Amino acid sequence: MSNYHIKNLEEYFQVHRKSVRNPELFWEEIAEEHFLWRKRWDKVLTWDFKKPEVKWFEGAKLNITENCIDRHLRIRGDKTAILFEPNDPKETAQHISYRQLYERVNQLANVLKEQGIKKGDRVCIYLPMIPELAISTLACARIGAIHSVVFAGFSAMALSTRVNDSDCKMVITSDGSYRGTKTIDLKGIVDDALKECPGVETVLVVKRIHSEIEMKNGRDKWLQPLLDKAATECEPEIMDAEDPLFILYTSGSTGMPKGMVHTTAGYMVYTAYTFKNVFQYRENDIFWCTADIGWITGHSYIVYGPLANGATSVMFEGVPNYPDWGRFWEIVAKHKVTQFYTAPTAIRALAKEKLDCVERHDLSSLKVLGSVGEPINEEAWHWYNDNIGKKKSPIVDTWWQTETGGIMISPIPYITPTKPTYATFPLPGIQLTLMDEHGEEITGNQVDGRLCIKFPWPSMARTIWGNHKRYKETYFSTYENQYFTGDGALRDEVGYYRITGRVDDVIIVSGHNLGTAPIEDSINEHPAVAESAIVGFPHDIKGNALYGYVILKETGESRVHDNLRKEINQIITEHIGPIAKLDKIQFTSGLPKTRSGKIMRRILRKIACNETDNLGDTSTLLNPEVVQEIMDNAL
Ligand code: WTA
């Protein structure tokens, strides 16, 4: 029985049982089989969820880029590592071989060193989906610098907050980016952001759109001339297993975004293992994950997981509707993609278009389809299964989080029978629990509760950068000795899990996690706004859209509401980015509050969702009369 390429459901159960009975042995076998270690670990696992502290493969020494690149050179030097598909289909795709990747990563690593970056320094990467993005992450890892990729759709303010939170010394960006027919002035955004970031000494700029940009003397440097002078060999920095590999920010329900810290060995072992298992990866497959590397899905399943397996990973710069809604399928056909991994929001958008967009392309290369980021609704699941998979390619509905580092719940394709909207079974090594509101574990099947994980896994985030207390409070304080995911889930009669959605104030819009508090904070900065509250409501493409209730200040000034709505969305765009814009804004004289002054979001949510038949008990409210007003004026 192998931990990989499980042959049937019985074997899955056996492997899972083994991983629960003796987790150390299970992960040790995987770590031994597949990786290049400079020194073996002394201890597989140390853990204590009370502190919380988790360490995997303590004492081991390695460099993840040796595992993702160097190790493959002898047998796969000429194989394509990164297959870059540009925004414009007329621009030629780039096949970057493992050898070329090795050279480009080492050159950039040498440039970073020359610019004063050392082991442990933080480097912010703010780039579009071009090869330099993947290469920058690997170049940091090569020299032991900690990368912090910020999604290039975030605003200047969101960028500066993230740069400052982790004290980045350097930003790597480009002169601009392409998105369908549009170009975006990324360097301008960086310039704005850095007005607030005194710690940034250097900005390296990739030339992508050849636009005229300003270069700040002494700070900004074009990358290419530096690369041209750099050597193609760079000795890897030998890292400890638990040295940080990267920081990636994710929204919490309150406060600052959380800089989740992932460490080296555990993250590598887990992403490599799950990539191979969940996508049933075989040599010569062409794997395409449509996520942006600005999110965890891109880190784990465009860069580290695929490359650790010596796979070919497709990177797509563009958008699904340029030049038309057939673009994804054109790419699948052109590169003979075997595994295709995307988000429900994309599936819903694609399903709205004419079927001809799909049917004119040959999708016969596909073997496995994946979904991630939010619950997939039944209709989207069937559309994906019928039209893309032609009922032959299983759908792996993969549940996981930025914090988990890798996929936690998923069918194993061709082994686990799929069921629409169910992520099915936990992967080997993963021990799930459902908890009730009193903190008791709910046993048995056909139950629902709050999803927790009771045993560590190698790729769990170890802390929040600079705030271990918040890490403990957010994930380990709700239930004793459990990691709390923030999601609700149900377990059906055979033990399959279905994720029902967030149980906190995080709303997932088009697959992006948005905390309500930071959006409310930015709205409240508008001079005319006194207070606001945000809730989610169902949207047929985005999954959820945002509904804002806004109380205006009594200024006596009569402003046109539509203008105010635009201004409010403008402020949100400046503070966070266009992804957090509100679809509906209702002005109101008050918000329903408890006697302790907390906004009763439950009521606002029901009104936004048009479910006003059963508002529940409103008698305990401080101001029950406001509920009727809000209902009468609902949008
Ligand atoms: C949600 C993305 C249902 C969930 C990898 C989780 C899902 C949050 C699924 C994490 C799924 C992710 N079914 N819900 N298959 N996958 N989610 O950090 O609420 O961007 O907590 O990580 O997305 O989002 P994140």
**Ligand 1 centroid distance, CA of 399 (Å):** 6
Best mutation site among 372, 419, 500, 502 for ligand 1, i.e. most ligand atoms within 8 A of its Cβ? 372
State the Cα–Cα distance between residues 311 and 96, nearest whole angstrom: 12
- Greater confidence (280 vs 601) lies with 280
pLDDT in tens, 494-532: 999 999 989 888 999 999 999 898 899 899 999 999 999
- If you measure from the C-alpha of residue 319 to the centroid of ligand 1, how many angstroms do you get, rounded to a whole number? 21
Percent of the chain predicted with pLDDT > 90: 88
Question: Can you tell me the mean pLDDT for 325-333?
Answer: 98
Query: 168 — phi, psi (to 5°)?
Result: -70, 140
What is the largest distance, in Å, between two alpha-carbon atoms of the chain? 75
Q: SS in 3 state form for 331-392? A: HHHHHCCCEEEECHHHHHHHHCCCCHHHHCCCCCCCCEEEEECCCCCHHHHHHHHHHHCCCC
CB atoms within 10 A of CB 632: 7
* Confidence bin at 594 (pLDDT 50/70/90): confident
CA of 440 to the centre of ligand 1 (A): 24
What separation in Å is there between the alpha carbon of 512 and the centre of ligand 1?
Answer: 9
Residue the block writes with tokens 């690593």: 109
Which pLDDT belongs to residue 559?
A: 66
SS3 521: helix
Mean pLDDT of 344-371: 96
Confidence class for position 599, pLDDT limits 50, 70, 90: confident
Is the model's pLDDT at 80 over the cut of 80?
A: yes
Residues contacting ligand 1 via CB (< 6 Å): 250, 295-297, 371-375, 397-402, 423, 485-487, 499, 502, 508, 513
Q: Prior bond to 52 cis, omega within 30?
A: yes
Tokens of 192: 């704005």
Residues 6+ apart with CB under 8 A from 133: 125, 127, 149, 293, 315
CA–CA separation, 217 and 261 (whole Å): 33
Q: What are 468's two structure tokens?
A: 């271990």
Among 89-93, 327-331, 406-410, 600-604, the minimum mean pLDDT is found in 600-604
With cut-offs at 50, 70 and 90, classify the pLDDT of residue 254: confident
- The Å distance, Cα 92 to ligand 1 centre, comes to 34
- Nearest in space to 221 (alpha carbons), one of 210, 205, 209, 208: 205
Q: Is 137:149 a contact under the CB 8 Å cutoff?
A: yes
206 CA from centroid of ligand 1 (Å): 32
Is pLDDT above 70 for 556? no
420 C-alpha to ligand 1 centroid (Å): 16
Residue 585 pLDDT level (bands cut at 50, 70, 90) = very high
Q: In whole angstroms, what is the distance from residue 29 CA to residue 344 CA? A: 35
Answer whether residue 612 shows pLDDT above 90.
no
Which atom of ligand 1 is closest in space to residue 297's alpha carbon? Answer: 5
Residue 128 CB contacts under 8 Å (≥ 6 apart), including other chains: 152, 174, 177, 178, 179, 184, 186, 208, 317
395: helix, coil or strand?
strand
Average pLDDT on 318-324 reads: 97
Q: How far, in Å, from the CA of 426 to the mean position of ligand 1?
A: 14
- The residue whose CA has the least distance to atom 14 of ligand 1 is 374
Residue among 436, 593, 427, 589 at smallest CA distance from 503: 436
pLDDT at 437 over 90: no
Residues 454-477: what's their mean pLDDT? 98
* 94-123 per-position pLDDT tens digit: 999 999 999 999 999 999 999 999 999 999
Residue 567 has pLDDT above 80, yes or no: yes
SS3 151: coil
Pocket test for ligand 1, best of 154, 278, 300, 374 (most atoms within 8 A of CB): 374
pLDDT band at 69 (very low <50, low <70, confident <90, very high): very high
Give tens-digit pLDDT for 150-183: 999 999 999 999 999 999 999 999 999 999 999 9
Helix (H) or strand (E) holding 227: helix 223-229
Give the DSSP letter of residue 178.
Answer: E
Q: Which two tokens stand for residue 67?
A: 């595992």
375 CA distance to ligand 1 middle (Å)? 7
Q: Is the pLDDT at 572 greater than 80, yes or no?
A: yes
Residue 560 has pLDDT above 80, yes or no: no
Q: Which of 154, 371, 399, 485 to mutate to test the pocket of ligand 1 (most atoms within 8 A of CB)?
A: 399
Alpha-carbon distance of 156 to 153, in angstroms, equals 10
Cα of 374 vs centre of ligand 1, distance in Å, is 5
More confident residue, 437 or 72: 72
- Average the pLDDT over each of 304-308, 477-481, 554-558 and give the range with the smallest value: 554-558
Long-range contacts of 532-537 (CB under 8 A, 24+ apart): 533/591, 533/599, 533/601, 533/604, 534/507, 534/582, 535/507, 535/601, 535/604, 535/605, 535/608, 536/507, 536/508, 536/509, 536/605, 536/608, 537/583, 537/584, 537/605, 537/608, 537/609, 537/610
Token output for 625: 């009369």
Span from the CA of 432 to the centroid of ligand 1 (angstroms): 15
Label residue 579 by pLDDT band (50, 70, 90): very high
Contact yes or no for 269/57 (Cβ under 8 A): yes
Place of tokens 């794997």: 287
* Multiple choice CATH, 506-632, 3.90.105.10, 3.90.226.10, 3.30.300.30, 3.40.50.300: 3.30.300.30
Split at pLDDT 50, 70, 90, the class of 558 is: low
Tell which one of 401, 403, 451 to mutate to probe ligand 1, the residue whose CB is within 8 A of the most ligand atoms: 401
Check pLDDT > 90 for residue 200: yes
Say what the pLDDT of residue 554 is.
77
Atom of ligand 1 nearest to the CA of 485: 21
Q: Locate 521 and state its tokens.
A: 């904070």
Quote the ligand 1 centre to 192 CA distance (angstroms): 31
Contact 115, 143 (CB under 8 A): no
Written as six digits, the tokens of 512 are 């992006």
- Ligand 1 pocket: which of 149, 508, 514 to mutate (most atoms within 8 A of CB): 508
SS (H, E, C) 487-503: EEEEECCCCCEEEEEEC
**Among 425, 413, 353, 416, CA closest to 389:** 413
What fold characterizes domain 9-319+398-475? Answer: Rossmann fold (3.40.50)
Between the CA of 427 and the centroid of ligand 1 the distance, in Å, is 16
Q: Write the CB contacts of 8 (distance below 8 Å, at least 6 apart in sequence).
A: 415
- The yes-or-no verdict on residue 587 having pLDDT over 80 is yes
Q: Which of 296, 499, 512 to mutate to test the pocket of ligand 1 (most atoms within 8 A of CB)?
A: 499
Index of the ligand 1 atom closest to the CA of residue 376 = 13
Atom of ligand 1 nearest to the CA of 397: 15
Mean pLDDT, to the nearest integer, of 534-554?
A: 93
* Mean per-residue pLDDT over the chain, rounded: 95
CA of 70 from ligand 1 middle (Å) equals 32
Written as one letter, the residue type at 31 is A
For a mutational test of ligand 1's pocket, the pick from 400, 432, 503, 504, i.e. the residue with the most ligand atoms closer than 8 A to its C-beta, is 400
| Cα-to-centroid distance, 297 and ligand 1 (Å) | 10
CA 273 / ligand 1 centre spacing (Å):
19
8-25 pLDDT per residue, tens? 999 999 999 999 999 999
Nearest to 283 by CA among 304, 303, 309, 308: 309
Q: How far apart are CA 3 and CA 39, in angstroms?
A: 23
Domain residue limits, the chain = 9-319+398-475, 506-632
**Cβ proximity of 150 and 336 under 8 Å:** no
Three-class SS state of 123: strand
With vertex at residue 522, the alpha carbon angle to CA 516 and CA 524, rounded to the nearest 5 degrees, is 100
In whole angstroms, give the CA distance from residue 541 to residue 552.
31
User: Whose CA is closest to atom 7 on ligand 1?
Assistant: 374
Would the pLDDT of 555 be above 70? no
Give residue 256's pLDDT: 86
Ligand 1 atom nearest the C-alpha of 402 is 18
User: Structure pTM?
Assistant: 0.94
Question: Cα dist. 306→179, 279, 299, 366 in Å?
Answer: 25, 10, 10, 17
Buried b (16+ CB within 10 A) or exposed e, 577-615: bebbbbbebbbbebbbbeeeeebbbebbbbbbeeeeeee
What atom of ligand 1 comes closest to residue 250's alpha carbon? 18
According to the model, what pLDDT value does residue 622 have? 83
Backbone angles phi, psi at 496, to 5 degrees: -75, 145
Average pLDDT over residues 365-384: 96
Please name the residue whose Cα sits nearest to atom 22 of ligand 1.
401
pLDDT tens-digit series, residues 527-538:
999 999 999 999
Residues 19, 9: Cα–Cα separation, whole Å: 15
The ligand 1 atom nearest the CA atom of 371: 15
What residue's CA is closest to ligand 1, atom 5? 401
Residue 557 has pLDDT above 70, yes or no: no
Say which amino acid occupies 23: P
- Report which of 108, 43, 118 is spatially closest to residue 69, judged by C-alpha positions: 108
Given pLDDT bands bounded at 50, 70 and 90, which one contains residue 231? very high
DSSP letter for 305, please: H
